[in-house]
Structure 1
Amino acid sequence: MFFAGKFILDIAGFVESQGMSRLKIMEMVGFDEDILEKENALVDYDCISGIFKLIKSELKDPRFGLHMGEQIMLSATSYIDQLMDSCSTVREAFEHAIAYSRLISDSMDCSLEMFDDNFRVNFELNPDWSLCDDYAIIQNLDLALICAKNSLYRLTSKEYFPVELNFFYPKPRKIAEHYRLFNTHLKFNAVVSSIVFNRHILHKSTVNHNHGLLEQLKEEANKILSSLPAENQLITSVKKSILKHITRGSSHISDVADDLYMTTRMLQRRLKAEGLTFKQIQNDIRFQIVRKMKHHGDCNLDEIAYLVGYAESSSFARAFKSWTGSSPGKYFNTSKLQTGKK
């Protein structure tokens, strides 16, 4: 659950150009800039989410991610940019970008889909990242989408607009910036976020390819990938399934086992081998959802209890106390005091 340390430096540099002190970002991170410059420097989701919360309160820019991607070249993506630029065709470049996307972050799983007339780059949220602050998630996605569009221009020296954009989040009140930057059809509340282009673009030659350099870059990139935290595909798949079912009012282990083509007993054994139980993972997700929903203030505790699968508030309160050691009311009142909220 990480972002490249260089991403922090990109954010700090951009907020400085917008009139905000970069020192506020660096103080929150707690690392020196020379440490974040290193290829193996990583920061966790909570750090990035906290930074975006600060940016939201300071700059009040609902389209921060789009503006950042439009105005600066990211150092966090420089390795992937070099890989793409060394490919001979756009298709090869995008395939390499997706294969090495974890050099930037594991917050989204990227994939490439082909259709008769179009190709689509998908951005599926890591289940742990999806439970972080909505503003951070949205800005990160918007940034990824504008970077995908910018990559085509860098590769071909020609501007291509997508034929369609899909966003997981609801339609914002103002979408003029989306239209200005992408000039295409927009769909919101999508199951998976994606950017879609005409398929013929994939066959375009890149302007500065160097296959000799590509092989060298791939070798170095593979070394970096091998040093990154390993993903546990089983745990990730279980979390994705729980999140899918919990929005439908249920997240029983049998439902999750069916999604993973396992029996309930097989799933229990696999999780036990990882030192976990289904209930532990389920309760952790429930707690993260509760924190997120309570932070936004859209629901009271009775409503939240129902939404995370508890028919009675008393059952939810008992469960919450087992997670945190205190009642929901006491926990969130203490949290408000610690963050200075009233």
Structure 2
Amino acid sequence: MDYKIQGILSLLQMAQKQGVDMQRLCDLSDLGLEDLKAGRLPELSIVNRLWLNAIKLTGDEYLGLHIGEEGGLASLGIVGQLIQTSATIEEAVLHTCEFVNLISDAFTLALVKGDADFSIVFEIDERCWLHYREAVKQNIDTALVFSMVEYNALTLGKVRPVAVYLPWSRPADDGEYKRVFDTRLFYGQPKARISFDNQLLDERIITADYELMRALVKHAEGLKDKYKETDKFSAKVRQTIINQSYIHPPRVTDVAATLNLSVRTLQRRLKAENTTFHDLQDEVRQELAMQYLKQKVYPIKEVSYILGYNEVSAFNRSFKRWTGLTPVKYQNQQP
């Protein structure tokens, strides 16, 4: 299972614990439970809608805080295992910072040391913050509380943060933040961060296991590389083109609007990955053309139309450029 899915399941379970019908919550949010079970990660827009609906149905605007209080490193998958098997809290924090992309798209983490205390600093993805603010805010709340709760569990001590810094305004009633963190709170800050006394970095973790930790790091590095490939902007654009191509090929303006970007920004980001919208659309057309011809459901003229060609002859030329065969010859070779 994609480790990012576990965070969605934690939200669903918390909402259910507060009396919300899980299926109703999913239906309101256009989230398919079967897709989650099959390991398919929903779009961030759906995740954001899920948070908004969960808060509305539970009446709990601090769901993220309460999920964090539940703790449980198992919910972090391999990142949780790395934390458990690290020798010290400092090593655990560094592992979390390195592999946080396995569990969240909303932010990256950095360990910043000061003279008396250290901070775990959240670098929030600007696009996520702009378009999916509720999901980002609640996930940061969860992560802030989670770090405090788990450091307690890992050291068998009473860990209390020195201060917590939040990048949003003080709520009308911040009693829940005060109860959960029991420390100084600073609102409207440039970045989210939680600070602890430097002595905590040297605390030994009772479940440390050097050999297992080394094996887990190797595995996590492989997963991290895999996410780098699938998280490429061009891969997201390509998938959007596929999603919108089953009626008629989308225009660049359609895809840019779906991704909440201007056409110029979309083209600039694709150029940075050495590709263009035209190249991606051409790849998708080839993939769909071969799929349609293998199925032998539609006549070639209709396949040509579905893929956005005004003339069958133009489709024939494109297909021969892709495969070296005409559509007819390719289709005849299929079982």
Q: TM-score, normalised by structure 2?
A: 0.66
> What secondary structure sits across from 2:205 in the alignment?
coil
Q: Deviations over 1:137-169 (max 9, x none)?
A: 221111110011112112201121111111010
Counterpart position of 1:32: 34
Structural RMSD (CA): 2.8
The code of the aligned residue for 2:136 comes to I
Q: Are residues 19 and 269 of structure 1, via their aligned partners in 2, closer, same or farther at CA, if it must alter by over 3 Å?
A: closer
The code of the aligned residue for 1:184 comes to T
Q: Are residues 272 and 224 of structure 1, via their aligned partners in 2, closer, same or farther at CA, if it must alter by over 3 Å?
A: closer
Mapping for residues 66-85 of structure 1, pairs under 5 Å: 66-73=65-72, 75-85=74-84
Counterpart position of 2:187: 188
User: How big is the shift at 1:3?
Assistant: 7.5
User: Is 1:19 matched up with 2:19?
Assistant: yes
**Count of aligned pairs:** 242
Hey, what's the Cα distance between the residues in 2 that align with 1:162 and 1:115? 14
Mapping for residues 107-122 of structure 1, pairs under 5 Å: 107-122=106-121
Hey, what's the Cα distance between the residues in 1 that align with 2:272 and 2:124? 22
Q: Which moved more, 1:196-205 or 1:27-36?
A: 27-36
Hey, what's the Cα distance between the residues in 1 that align with 2:197 and 2:188? 23
Hey, what's the Cα distance between the residues in 1 that align with 2:91 and 2:71? 25
> What secondary structure sits across from 2:86 in the alignment?
coil
The code of the aligned residue for 2:138 comes to Q
Structure 2 unpaired stretches of 5+: 234-263, 278-335
Q: Is contact 2:65–2:138 with CA below 8 Å preserved after alignment?
A: yes
Q: Are residues 88 and 271 of structure 1, via their aligned partners in 2, closer, same or farther at CA, if it must alter by over 3 Å?
A: closer
Counterpart position of 2:198: 199
The code of the aligned residue for 1:90 comes to I
Hey, what's the Cα distance between the residues in 2 that align with 1:3 and 1:126? 19
Hey, what's the Cα distance between the residues in 1 that align with 2:217 and 2:273? 36
User: Is 1:170 matched up with 2:172?
Assistant: no
User: How big is the shift at 1:114?
Assistant: 0.8
User: How big is the shift at 1:208?
Assistant: 1.2
The higher radius of gyration belongs to 2
User: Is 1:4 matched up with 2:4?
Assistant: yes
Hey, what's the Cα distance between the residues in 2 that align with 1:85 and 1:173? 37
Q: Is contact 1:16–1:22 with CA below 8 Å preserved after alignment?
A: yes
Hey, what's the Cα distance between the residues in 1 that align with 2:9 and 2:211? 30
Counterpart position of 1:250: none
Q: Deviations over 1:153-212 (max 9, x none)?
A: 122011211111110100111111111111111111110110000011101111110011
Hey, what's the Cα distance between the residues in 1 that align with 2:133 and 2:41? 21
- Among the aligned pairs, what percent are the same residue? 21
Q: Is contact 1:164–1:196 with CA below 8 Å preserved after alignment?
A: yes
Hey, what's the Cα distance between the residues in 2 that align with 1:125 and 1:167? 12
Q: Is contact 1:122–1:193 with CA below 8 Å preserved after alignment?
A: yes
User: Is 1:144 matched up with 2:143?
Assistant: yes
Hey, what's the Cα distance between the residues in 2 that align with 1:3 and 1:226? 15
Q: Is contact 1:3–1:107 with CA below 8 Å preserved after alignment?
A: no
Counterpart position of 1:244: none
User: How big is the shift at 1:14?
Assistant: 1.1
Q: Deviations over 1:266-287 (max 9, x none)?
A: x9996494548xxxxxxxxxxx
> What secondary structure sits across from 1:159 in the alignment?
coil
User: How big is the shift at 1:232?
Assistant: 5.6
Structure 1 unpaired stretches of 5+: 234-252, 254-266, 277-342
The code of the aligned residue for 1:121 comes to I
Hey, what's the Cα distance between the residues in 1 that align with 2:270 and 2:50? 39
Counterpart position of 2:55: 56
Counterpart position of 1:216: 215
User: How big is the shift at 1:76?
Assistant: 3.7
Q: Are residues 34 and 3 of structure 1, via their aligned partners in 2, closer, same or farther at CA, if it must alter by over 3 Å?
A: closer
User: How big is the shift at 1:31?
Assistant: 4.2
Hey, what's the Cα distance between the residues in 2 that align with 1:219 and 1:43? 28
Hey, what's the Cα distance between the residues in 1 that align with 2:185 and 2:76? 25
Counterpart position of 1:93: 92
Q: Is contact 2:72–2:150 with CA below 8 Å preserved after alignment?
A: no
Q: Is contact 1:14–1:72 with CA below 8 Å preserved after alignment?
A: no
Hey, what's the Cα distance between the residues in 1 that align with 2:153 and 2:41? 27
Q: Is contact 2:71–2:146 with CA below 8 Å preserved after alignment?
A: no
User: How big is the shift at 1:9?
Assistant: 1.4
Hey, what's the Cα distance between the residues in 2 that align with 1:116 and 1:201? 13
Hey, what's the Cα distance between the residues in 2 that align with 1:111 and 1:200? 18
Hey, what's the Cα distance between the residues in 2 that align with 1:173 and 1:12? 26
> What secondary structure sits across from 1:42 in the alignment?
coil
